[in-house]
């Protein structure tokens, strides 16, 4: 008769709790963009199939749009959803992404609103660079919605740009795009 307290191997295709800790530690330090994309596809499919509204935000959302800034997947200091919409479904847009498994659709929150708010609150260079990316990638979209964006946030961004080393032509173009003169 076998001892029921004796440790049994996990069923095939599963892992023990100690193996889970090792995998989590490895994932925290060795995650690559392709891993994030694969995980995103899986999570989006689960949320979509269960009719749970969701939005992809922040630096990873910008990466899906073609941004080149690296995404820190191992951050433990993220304190919430700065600029998150109350209703992500109605405040999102669909972005098509070509992947190894074909074209994928991702609902992505209009990032400029949240990034301007994040920059205004934190004054982080990563938020500043993300705003620059959005303005350069989608100047006509930004121009079309500029009056709907918080004026104080737009002004703070332009003020920071003015204090930097931006060429006058770039500064003028961004001011016009954001509706700040």
Q: Could you report the per-residue pLDDT of 36-82, keeping only the tens digit for each?
A: 778 888 888 888 888 887 777 777 777 777 777 666 555 555 555 55
Q: What is the pLDDT of residue 99?
A: 57
Mean pLDDT of the chain: 77
- Note the maximum CA span of the chain: 84
Joined tokens for residue 22: 């090792």
Contact 100, 84 (CB under 8 A): no
Contact 117, 90 (CB under 8 A): no
Contact 153, 119 (CB under 8 A): yes
CA distance 135 to 125: 15
HSE-up of residue 76 (Cα within 13 Å, Cβ side)? 4
Contact 91, 57 (CB under 8 A): no
DSSP state for residue 92 in the 8-state scheme: -
Q: What is the pLDDT of residue 55?
A: 72
Q: Could you report the per-residue pLDDT of 108-147, keeping only the tens digit for each?
A: 336 788 889 889 998 999 889 889 988 888 888 888 888 8
Identify which of 114, 176, 100 has the alpha carbon closest to the alpha carbon of residue 144.
176
Q: What is the pLDDT of residue 108?
A: 39
Q: Could you report the per-residue pLDDT of 10-44, keeping only the tens digit for each?
A: 788 888 888 888 888 888 788 777 787 788 888 88
């Amino acid at each position: 008769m076998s001892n029921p307290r004796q440790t049994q191997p996990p069923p095939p295709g599963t892992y023990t709790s100690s193996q889970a800790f090792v995998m989590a530690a490895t994932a925290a330090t060795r995650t690559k963009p392709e891993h994030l994309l694969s995980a995103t596809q899986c999570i989006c499919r689960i949320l979509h199939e269960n009719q749970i509204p969701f939005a992809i935000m922040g630096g990873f959302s910008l990466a899906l749009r073609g941004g080149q800034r690296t995404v820190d997947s191992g951050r433990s200091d993220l304190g919430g959803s700065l600029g998150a919409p109350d209703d992500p479904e109605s405040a999102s847009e669909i972005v098509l992404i070509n992947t190894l498994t074909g074209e994928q659709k991702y609902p992505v929150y209009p990032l400029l609103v949240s990034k301007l708010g994040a920059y205004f609150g934190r004054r982080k260079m990563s938020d500043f660079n993300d705003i620059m990316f959005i303005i350069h990638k989608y100047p006509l979209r930004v121009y079309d919605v500029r009056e709907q964006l918080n004026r104080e946030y737009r002004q703070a961004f332009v003020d920071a740009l003015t204090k930097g080393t931006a060429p006058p032509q770039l500064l003028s173009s961004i001011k016009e795009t954001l509706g700040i003169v």
